[in-house]
Amino acid sequence: MKRLEGKVSLITGAAQGIGEATALKFAREGAIVVVCDVQQAGIDKVVAQCEAAGAQAVGYVMDVTDREQVESVVAQVKERFGRIDALINNAGITQDARLQKMTLAQFDRVIDVNLRGVFHCAQTVADVMVAQGSGSIVNASSVVGIYGNFGQTNYAATKFGVIGFTKTWSRELGAKGVRVNAVAPGFITTPMVKAMPENVLQSMEAKVPLKRLGEPEEIANVYAFLASDEASYINGAVISVDGGMTI
């Protein structure tokens, strides 16, 4: 029996990086994978990869900041499959600048995607999960959401906020059969990180006791565990997946 056999799993930001790795992990674990992103080409690619792995997969263009679009996608998934078992709130962006240099547009955009977008998806999916009496919501936080980071006022605020969401929703929804947890990745080799200068990458590695950056699959593995019945008594947790860099 595969870990996520038959679980209808909606993943945001699933067209690349950690989201793509998560979709493929869920596919290999037997989930019905719902690939959501803003890029149609990326969605099509990941859906095809999931199907090649033997999974049933569908894709939807969904901007998490657009409440009507989120509600429409959730309604379509519910209509098609009858339920939603897991929501992986993975979509996120960065627009970095020091406090004194950050524009209001930069601040607002990151808050809109990383905080308001998580709220839109969770609130819409929670209604489905509560009605069916079960479900798992997994939110993407960050080590930056625990310790802060230079030049990331907006990003840190959202990832701290996601932890607040997680703690609150786990209290509200737990009695209704819905678990809510968060994952706080460290430095992960996403396309965005790989594009950084070599000396920056080396300095990042030096901060990690394991002396390497994490792979997207290593985050996906934890998402899959938290979405599975193996994590049936884990609720309200924030799991750091960072190679020990925050010890």
Of the candidates 60, 147, 155, 233, the residue annotated as catalytic is 155
Q: Which residues pair with 109 in a beta bridge?
A: none
Residue 132 is encoded by which pair of tokens?
Answer: 């069916």
Phi, psi of 138 (to 5 degrees): -120, 120
Euclidean distance between CA atoms 140 and 245, whole angstroms: 18
Euclidean distance between CA atoms 223 and 89, whole angstroms: 10
Alpha helices by DSSP H, the chain: 17-28, 40-52, 67-81, 104-111, 117-132, 144-147, 153-173, 191-194, 198-206, 216-227
The reply to whether 223 belongs to the active site is no
Instruction: Report in angstroms the alpha-carbon separations of 192 from 67, 92, 112.
Output: 27, 12, 20
Euclidean distance between CA atoms 150 and 145, whole angstroms: 12
Active-site residue numbers? 155
